[in-house]
A and B are shown apart, each in its own frame.
Chain A
């Protein structure tokens, strides 16, 4: 126990030094999360690397099943084992490798240094505990508060996430709150200990559109106010454009492209990224074009089964530009502009072409 406290403190002390020096909070290097299933080895996350800077929002985008959520759960080391395991790489939070921590030490990180909000606000809160108790739980676990202090702070947190009548709501149960309110409560739980990193795993997918915008605004506002770094997992490029500064595009467990939001939308270099962008409905196209092809473009095929990944580039079977080399060898990352990385043999064609 004593030892854990020390480590946790150490993490926090290092914070001051390293963060001030580089601005990097989280450094993920070559992360590999595999699932050992009866159907075979599933490389759910395969050699994914990225960094996260202070107060920054990094978006991870991709289709369902491309490893976004598993990446997020890996950061908290919450991969169910068996069947899953982190088999390689490092996750450095302010210089401390989380992979090397004991389970007890890791628990001090969860909810305290790194916290997470989930996709399904309807089912992510414990139905038999009051909202107040669920917020207070993290404070009691990590901040050494008394029950009275924790409950007072819970009310403050509800006020922070703009839930009306927080004194009343704190005594209510999740079923008494709407979906949007529950997601606000989840955010209150996640931010209660003022974490360095907030992972938001499709926080707005299950909500209706007007509520989506409110929740995103809230996350952005609180991020600015509290200086939290955010990893935003989404498949909605519109959300990315509005909230993130940098983007990672994932496909079949791998990072295929990384860029600033501006670069990515201006000049997507991976055919998959381009495909994602072409599949967004655009009002201007629909309105103007009677002659033009107004049908939404789609990426043909589906994400391959991760147990049977193709040799070479994993996207090759669905890629309109694939050639023999793509099917034979996985491309290396190459840097197109500062901070703009892509893993594609034919990125120059993608960049030059008019459509994907």
Chain B
């Protein structure tokens, strides 16, 4: 196990290195840089002035040099300065992380809380009215984009209550914050919960046909014990994997949802930074998201090993 973790860790570093190259190069493939945008919006074209700004920001250097500056800065914990605000990038990014993290974990929690039990019910009551209803709901969950669902929710609030939940900062208490974040989290998590539910259902249906389920029944176990103790323990394995993958998708969903619900989190900030080609913010933030996704997937693999005794990591 120790060797496996070590090897896995090495692989993680390699993945992150690849990610850093990709992020860096792709960001620079996007047409225009901050000086282009500044000059275009001001309507001025003074090539000497533009050159000066580019030199100041180091944008005139070869791309290899630029990359080396970023990565070596990263290794020292220096993320550089944001182009737009001219503050250290770390001071811009760090304060915005907690709220997005809360939103993302609530969305994930939401998807598991509803997805898994409803998936089990759907499978156990296969082809019953409740199964059909749940399947329709989950299909709609997969088909609705989260920003559109967010807009629908907002419209619903305006229509019926005459107000919309606005994230005020700082929220009065923990529960107010949870309440405020619950709606956007539900809007983002609905898709994931639909996916988790469908996967749990099909996985359960497969497991319920297995011989060991018949064995469990022949031992006199109750339906509850058969479904949850014997079947779900086996059926949940692919669901755990998909939760790891969903965590990445979730961040994509957050970008639009934070915009729709006007939440001052990382994701919305990222979109603005992209508009300004604010390289230090974008590359560091995307790198941070990549680290989070890689770490989550590592944790998922560890959880997998704990849930399934057949998986052996030492070799």
Residues in chain A within 8 A of chain B (CB atoms): 76, 78, 107-112, 115-116, 118, 120, 123-130, 137-138, 141-142, 173, 175, 186, 189
A72's nearest neighbour on chain B, judged by CB, is B218
Contact mask for chain B residues 211-231; partner A; CB cutoff 8 A; 1 contact, 0 none: 110111111111000000010
A186 vs chain B, min Cβ distance (A): 8
| A205 to B234 Cα, complex, angstroms | 26
Please determine whether A189 and B310 come into contact, CB atoms closer than 8 angstroms: no
Contacting pair B219 A137 (CB below 8 A): yes
Residues of A within 8 A of B220 (CB): 107-112, 138, 141-142
B308 interfacial by beta-carbon distance below 8 Å: yes
Is there contact, CB below 8 Å, between A137 and B218?
Answer: no
Most chain A CB within a 10 A radius of its CB, from B217, B220, B221, B230? B220
Q: With A and B bound together, what is the CA distance between A342 and B221 in angstroms? A: 39
**Is residue B210 within 8 Å, beta carbon to beta carbon, of the partner chain?**
yes
Contact of A189 with B219 in the complex, beta carbons under 8 Å? yes
Supposing A123-B210, A127-B212 touch, asked if A78 and B217 sit within 8 A by C-beta, the answer is yes
Bound CA span A125–B212, Å: 5
Extra contacts, 17 of them, besides A110-B218, A127-B212, A128-B309 (Cβ < 8 A), are A108-B220, A115-B219, A123-B210, A124-B212, A125-B212, A125-B215, A126-B216, A126-B230, A127-B308, A127-B309, A128-B233, A128-B234, A129-B230, A138-B220, A142-B220, A189-B215, A189-B219
Closest to B213 in A: A126
**Chain B minimum-CB-distance residue to A126:** B212
Q: CA–CA, A112 to B218, complex, Å? A: 9
Q: Does B307 contact A (CB under 8 A)?
A: yes
Query: How far, in Å, is A177 (CB) from chain B's closest CB?
Result: 12
Q: Show 24 residue pairs from A and B whose CB-CB distance is below 8 angstroms, ordered by the A residue.
A: A78-B214, A78-B218, A107-B220, A107-B222, A110-B218, A110-B220, A111-B221, A118-B214, A118-B218, A123-B212, A124-B211, A125-B212, A125-B215, A126-B212, A126-B234, A127-B212, A127-B310, A128-B309, A129-B230, A129-B233, A138-B219, A141-B219, A175-B309, A186-B215
Whether A173 touches B309, Cβ cut-off 8 Å, given contacts A118-B211, A123-B212, A126-B230, is: yes
Q: Are A111 and B309 in contact (CB under 8 A)?
A: no
Shortest distance from the beta carbon of A5 to any chain B beta carbon, whole Å: 13
Binding site secondary structure of chain B:
helix
Task: Give Cα distance in the complex from A110 to B222, angstroms.
Answer: 11
Q: Which residue of A lies closest to B217 (CB)?
A: A78
The 0/1 profile, CB within 8 Å of A marked 1, for residues 253-296 of chain B is 00000000000000000000000000000000000000000000
Give the docked Cα–Cα distance between A118 and B214 (Å): 9
Q: Closest CB-CB distance, A7 to chain B, in whole Å?
A: 14
Output the nearest chain B residue to A78 by Cβ-Cβ distance. Answer: B217
Please measure, in the bound complex, the distance between the C-alpha atom of A160 and the C-alpha atom of B307, giving whole angstroms. Answer: 30
A173 CB contacts on chain B under 8 angstroms:
309-310
CB contacts (< 8 Å) of B215 on chain A: these are 118, 124-126, 186, 189
Cα separation A125 to B211 with both chains bound (whole Å):
8
User: What 7 pairs between A and B have smallest CB-CB spacing?
Assistant: A110-B220, A111-B219, A111-B220, A123-B211, A173-B309, A126-B212, A124-B211
User: In the assembly, what is the distance between CA of A124 and CA of B62, in Å?
Assistant: 64
Residue with the highest number of chain B CB atoms closer than 10 Å, among A76, A118, A128, A137: A128
The 0/1 profile, CB within 8 Å of A marked 1, for residues 288-315 of chain B is: 0000000000000000000111100000
Is there an interface contact between B308 and A128, defined as CB atoms closer than 8 Å? yes
Of B218, B221, B222, B308, most A-chain CB atoms within 10 Å: B218
> Could you tell me the distance between the alpha carbons of A118 and B219 in the complex, rounded to whole angstroms?
12
Q: In the complex, what residues of A have CB within 8 A of residue B222's CB?
A: 107
Q: Which residue of B lies closest to A176 (CB)?
A: B309
Residues of B contacting A137 in the complex (Cβ-Cβ under 8 angstroms) = 216, 219, 221
Tell me how far the C-beta of A325 lies from the nearest C-beta in chain B, rounded to whole angstroms: 41
Contact: B310 with A175, CB < 8 Å? yes
Q: What separation, in Å, do the CA atoms of A180 and B234 have in the docked complex?
A: 23
A129→B309 CA distance, assembly (Å): 8
Inter-chain contacts of B310 with A (CB < 8 A): 127, 173, 175
Q: How far is the CB of B124 from chain A (nearest CB, A)?
A: 13
Q: Which residues of A contact B233 (CB under 8 A)?
A: 126, 128-129
